[in-house]
Amino acid sequence: MKHLIAFAGVRSGGLHKVLSTPDEIFAQQDLTNRVAYSPSTNLDDDEWFYIEQFSGKGYENDFVAKQSPINTTTLNQLPVEKFEKIKYLCCEDGTKKYFQKLLPSQLISKKWFSVSDAPVLESNKKIISFSNTPDAIYDSASNELYFRDIAKVKAIFKGIEELYREATQEEVTEFLQQDFIELTEGYDVTSVKVSNRKRIAIAVDRISDYSATQKQEIFDYIHEYCPNVTFKDGKFSISSENDLKYVLFGIDERYYTTMLGKEKRLANSVISMAS
């Protein structure tokens, strides 16, 4: 018997039992193709990010903290009035714990009828629709967390967003005030969108350790690959989101030249290789 459990928030009593069923709640996933999490990596369709030694990372979650197999008799049944409070759904299957973030839009209140030989029109019952695919899987046997989109799991595991954070307003302002950047054509800190804020968070960490010589090498490298971004008197002229993106990609060393074809390319996704 499998048990569907809901986390309705601390103020609403935390974990509650929703239902028990002999059927599969979330589909089994092939976790063979896995990549250690990095904000610079884009996954292929069949890949999962993973974090090893997860229980020691400090990313709190009530369901992970529960001893396996979970004793559902210690959980209260979720009352009807708290269904709209559900933050995420979870269940346990062997050594794996499955999670799915739940959005308010998944609590549906519409006229509907089932596809059957004797459909009946329903208009006074709310339903919750959720996907067959989990957003995250914790394997207690290996102590590893698997996920595909950190934007979804940050609502499930407290503090995990630090792995892929946006630069703060202060960090963005400070970065754009660097000696090697000149803002033009009205572009300013308010123009920086989420994608570049995330890239700035990475760039700030990288460039803070560079010597003056290393910074100059990086600037020359960026100018070589991005001649469309004006570089004059030691400053990149930033007039758009694209200009900033090209400079940030350069700080992350995303540009390269193929060995045989000598073709200049941009690595849209990066996976660190063991040395």
Q: Where are the domains of the chain?
A: 2-160, 169-266
3-class secondary-structure state, position 108: strand
Q: Give the single-character DSSP code of 131.
A: -
Rounded to an integer, what distance in angstroms lies between the CA atom of residue 40 and that of residue 246?
Answer: 14
Rounded to an integer, what distance in angstroms lies between the CA atom of residue 44 and that of residue 33?
Answer: 9
Contacts of 40-44 with C-beta under 8 Å, sequence gap 24+, read: 40/202, 40/252, 40/269, 40/270, 41/269, 41/270, 41/271, 42/268, 42/269, 43/148
Give the per-residue pLDDT at 274: 55
Give the per-residue pLDDT at 168: 87
Rounded to an integer, what distance in angstroms lies between the CA atom of residue 105 and that of residue 164?
Answer: 25
Tokens of residue 84, six digits: 């709209």
List per-residue pLDDT tens for the chain, 275 residues long: 899 999 998 888 999 999 999 999 999 999 999 999 988 788 988 999 999 999 999 998 999 999 889 999 999 999 999 999 999 999 999 999 999 999 888 988 888 888 989 898 988 788 899 999 999 999 999 999 999 998 899 889 998 888 877 888 999 999 999 999 999 999 999 999 988 998 998 888 788 778 889 999 999 999 999 999 999 999 999 999 999 999 999 999 999 999 999 999 998 877 776 54
Give the per-residue pLDDT at 181: 95
Rounded to an integer, what distance in angstroms lies between the CA atom of residue 98 and that of residue 22?
Answer: 16
Tokens of residue 11, six digits: 């103020």
CB 98 within 8 A of CB 25: yes
Rounded to an integer, what distance in angstroms lies between the CA atom of residue 107 and that of residue 86?
Answer: 10
Give the per-residue pLDDT at 202: 84
